[in-house]
Structure 1
Amino acid sequence: MKSRLRTALLSLSALASTPALAEPLADADRTAILAEVDRGAPAMARNALQIWSWAEVGFQETKSSGLLQKDLKAAGFKVTAGVAGMPTAFIASFKNGDGPVIGILAEYDALPGLAQAAEPERHVIDGIAGHACGHNLFGAASVAAAIATKNWMVAHGIKGELRVYGAPAEEGGSGKVFLVRSGLTKDVSAMLHWHAGDGYSAMQGHALANVSAKFRFHGLASHAAAAPERGRSALDGVEAMDNMVNMMREHVPQETRIHYVITDGGKAPNVVPDTAEVYYYVRHPDQQQVADIMERVKKAAEGAALGTGTTVEYDQIGGTFDLLPNDTLGHVMYDNLKQVPLPTYTAQEQAFIDKIAATLPKGGRKQAGGVAPYSSGEIMSASTDVGDVSYTTPTAGMSAGTWAPGTPPHSWQAVAASGNSVGTKGAEVAAKTLALTAVQLFQSPDTLAAAKKELDERRGPDFVYRSLLGDKAPSLDYRKAPVSKN
């Protein structure tokens, strides 16, 4: 935990001395860039809503990825698809001579089990997934920002390379980890990203490191009434493991989060299931701690198999670092976010927000007033594969108000707003902020140098990147339902 304390102290120090290296954009330049994004806003909204309607889960986002690639190619980017062993990943590059490399991350995967209409009441629709984290908005707005930035570079002769990283399977598949591990981000001067949310912020905080895995138990099938003694229940193995892990919760660091779902428990009560599967996440602010705790979970699985006469297989799915703040870049992004006009809503849109709020505990929360004050170093109780990016290249992010205030991520309310003009209006703010920040950084070599120095100081002189996934290949089928033998 010494590294965590050191990082927290650096965050406090950064707050005390705000970096002021980047020259602010001239008013005329800012106005021109905002207008450039405005021209592309209708296409951005169409893309976001189209991706929302497809709602493709991790590593299966063929149509969503293809749509974004098509627009980038049409805008003059060179697109390389299927990078880092992931068919739906891509890198789109526009190079205009030698200079800095600025990257923009794009996501587009949906979450299973949350198909929902774009309506302010619970209305389940056909489909296996829904955009409950707003990645349809994320991908579309990042591409819109990149196209606007590219057009600006051409018009003003700005030197350097602009890249869009199409990163699949953020929800558990650790897509960006494979991009980093393959060395595809190592020459990036600054990486920018954003996320859907219920307010506007450029807070640069920490996320939780995360290791996820599936445990597959194998037993012997038999008639559950006529010959139970001949069976060995794989489901018993899963339930015994879950009981032991639940008892373990008392004996792990208090910052730990452990959650699981049984993804296969058999098909009929009168058949002793010979296969069963449980899917686990383990989170903690420290990467080593999360790896150590998962080893204890593995021991629980082995003990459960021994006690139930079954066997168990361990299949690691994901593994992500915590998120490393970069205040040098964060302040640039914050200053630009404050310069972007926030949306005004039609009467119909405001009614949608109000109806959504009425479905939330205590009616949600009061409408956020503008951009939240800048902060750094807070530990957020969620995980992201942006963490690995942030440990290897200077990285900054922001959130935009795409949902009704008080809306939790991974909820039907988030799905509904992400498929509505309320969501696309918030995404437009993100696109403008990313474009302004990218343009400013292309013209601020001192800021990029300071951001790299800050990264080096935060991660320490002895840092060597080693993925929590080791040399494991992407789990391209991790969202597919397991096939039971029963």
Structure 2
Amino acid sequence: MKNIKNEILAWVDDNASDLSDWHQTIFNYGETAWREYKSCAWYVNRLREEGFEVEEGSGGMPTAFCAVWKNGDGPTIGSYAEYDAVPGNCQAADTVQRARDNLSEHAGGHTDPHSALGISSLGGLLAAKKMMEQYNIPGTLKYFGEPAEKVRGSKPIHAANGYYDDLDAAISFHPFYMLPLSNTTRWNTHCGAAYAMIYTFECKEPETWLSQSDEADSPIAASHASARAPGANDALMQMYGTSKLLKESMVAAGTGWSMNECILTAGQATADNLPAQIAQIQYIMRVPDLEMAETVTRVLDQNAAAAAQISHCSWKKDWVCKSRPGLPNHVMAQLTYDNLEFVGAPKFNEGKAAVKKAQEIQRNLGLDEMDAPFMTECEELISPQDAERELRKQLPEWQKNFTSDDYTEFCWHAPTVRLYIARPTLKAPDNGKKYPAWVMNALGGIPETIDPMILCASKTIGNTIIDLLTKPEVLAKAKEEFEERTGGVGGENWIAPQCDYPSPHNFRWPEYIETERGVEWWIPKN
């Protein structure tokens, strides 16, 4: 077995150039939620070339997929790629702040970066597949394309449509985004629930807003001199303002949660004496549990109804996401961490090319260059138990879940691990200043700085897959723990999928468009 694990490491190293090039492709696509057309197509084509059977548009989502490769009868191990970027973060893989070539700074860009998330899991998957072929290891690899994670979009839909039901175990990887969750796995405190929805306001009958006696003699049926209906923009602003004002009344004080909003559609009228016909606002809440999500949703619904009434509009709510809180699995967490120990933490300060790029960034910002510019924690392992203890210091005892990500959907269908590998992060400047946000985004795209994370994660994931396929006693223990925590699928403590809505891809999500000027972001460069 040790030979196979070393061969996994060797395979990843031998294919490091391909993995780096693949990542550059996805990073530079920079496509945002529900509009990841090129990114999804790239994965579909790559997987088919590797011998996978691929279902495109899985779960009714145009930019999702489900890929399966089978090597005889054996366990089914699941993993996934994410590839959605974030609007307004169009940073080039460069040491200065600039948008990617020929694009507006408002275009999409990878922040976490999901581009590296997907290529890392793909690298581990393909490394494990190679070993399965070479040593005739039976089993099935099931790999998902998961769009729109930034709005917690696809995994609740895949789960509700049965795509995870045949998994024996699942591996979730994410580049680290906060300490102490760097080069470790989650132990007890997994991510929480998330609800996201779009409220649509429409002013369908503006002519019924007021009945004025002087209109009877007007030569114009709907006089422009009349008082106009408030309309949809006013409803949206009422919704926005009221929800901000009442935020502290939505849940109990001292509760760790967050809520953010995004205006998707507004106006549909000129600056004339005509009311706006339609306006849409999206909310997403990240909360510890489903009960809290339902409470916040009730308040938002009341706010929408009140805003619509005073603005002479109708309103409706469409769901974007209902994701469940995460569930621990200690067997999976320890197994994956053991493989991370075997691989070792990524090294950034040892790479001359990575250090040079980091120093260029510091110099371009007018800061003193550091001999070892990357955070020490990026190159150190922390056990899941130690990371748990550090994480719990900032949380109340009652809170079981913290932060948000929809990998949690896998947790209720199969034993699941959440793996974090350090992404390149610079040490704080000595003068107390903070790096601008573009620096982290750039480091996530520069090959010299992000590749060490991709290689480390690929090796760890590949070896974990092989362990799950060749150590039936370990997989049995993981499944036994899953049964104990849930009572089994449908059991007493099991939470069923909350998704009862279709894919919300038809809304006006920000996207790239093609005009006479070529392909550009919907907000032009100039």
- Give the 3 Å change call, closer, same or farther, for CA 291–437 of structure 1 in structure 2: same
Q: Higher mean Cα deviation, 98-107 or 350-359?
A: 350-359
1:25-174 to 2 correspondences below 5 Å: 25-26=1-2, 28-125=3-100, 126=103, 128-174=107-153
CA contact (8 A) 2:206 2:312 kept: no
Residues 64-109 of structure 1: per-residue CA shift (max 9 Å, x gap) = 1222222222222222222211222222222111111111221111
Letter in 1 for 2:190: H
Give how far 1:357 is off: 7.1
Q: Which residue of 2 aligns with 1:469?
A: 499
The Cα RMSD (Å) is: 3.0
* 206 and 62 in structure 1: CA distance in 2 versus 1, 3 angstrom threshold: same
**2: CA distance between counterparts of 1:174 and 1:207?**
15
Bigger mean CA offset, 152-161 vs 239-248:
239-248
Structure 2 residue aligned with 1:10: none
Larger Rg: 2
Provide, for residues 170-197 of structure 1, a one-character-per-residue CA deviation record: whole Å limited to 9, x for no partner: 1215211121111111111110121122
Match of residue 256 from structure 1: 257
The aligned residue for residue 12 of structure 1 is none
Q: 367, 370, 375: which one pairs with 2:376?
A: 367
Counterpart of 1:212 in structure 2 is 196
Paired residue type of 2:14: R
Residue-pair matches, total: 453
Aligned counterparts, 1:301-320, within 5 A = 301-320=304-323
Aligned AA for 1:326? Answer: N
Structure 1 unaligned runs (5+)? 1-24
Give the match's secondary structure for 2:4. helix
Identity %: 25
> For the residues of structure 2 that align with 1:320 and 1:351, how far apart are their CA atoms?
42
Superposition pairs for residues 271-350 of structure 1, below 5 Å?
272-341=275-344, 342-344=346-348, 345-350=350-355
Shift of 1:301: 0.7
Q: How far apart, in 2, do the equivalents of 1:386 and 1:339 lie?
A: 25
The aligned residue for residue 456 of structure 1 is 483
* Matches of 2:248 and 2:421, distance apart in 1: 37
Listed one character per residue, the Cα deviations across residues 177-226 of structure 1 (whole Å, up to 9, x for unaligned) are 1211111111111101211225422234321211111112223779xxx7
Q: Which residue of 2 aligns with 1:439?
A: 466
**Alignment partners' CA distance in 1, 2:510 and 2:10:** 45
**How far apart are the structure 2 equivalents of 1:367 and 1:429?**
16
Q: 1:185 aligns with which of 159, 164, 170?
A: 164
Deviation, 1:414, is 3.4
The residue number in structure 2 matching 1:194 is 173
TM-score of the superposition, structure 1-length normalised? 0.85
Provide the rounded CA distance (Å) in 1 between the counterparts of 2:73 and 2:97.
52
Secondary structure in 2 matching 1:114: coil
Which residue number corresponds to residue 352 of structure 1? 357
Offset of residue 297 of structure 1: 0.7
Please give the secondary structure, in 2, of the residue aligned with 1:229: coil
User: Could you give the per-residue CA deviations for residues 324-381 of structure 1, whole angstroms, max 9, x where no partner exists?
Assistant: 12111000111111111423453342243356579799x9984314112223485665
Paired residue secondary structure (2:244):
helix
Listed as ranges, the gaps of 5+ residues in structure 2 are 208-223, 393-399, 429-433, 512-526
Q: Secondary structure at the match of 1:171?
A: helix
Higher mean C-alpha displacement, 97-106 vs 328-337: 97-106
Task: Work out whether 1:397 is the aligned partner of 2:418.
Answer: yes
2: distance between equivalents of 1:384 and 1:360? 36
TM-score (norm 2): 0.79
In 2 relative to 1, CA 55–457 (structure 1 residues): closer, same or farther, beyond 3 Å?
same
Is the CA contact (8 Å cut-off) linking 1:367 and 1:405 kept in structure 2? no
Q: Give the secondary structure class of the aligned counterpart of 1:152.
A: helix
Alignment-derived partner of residue 228 in structure 2:
230
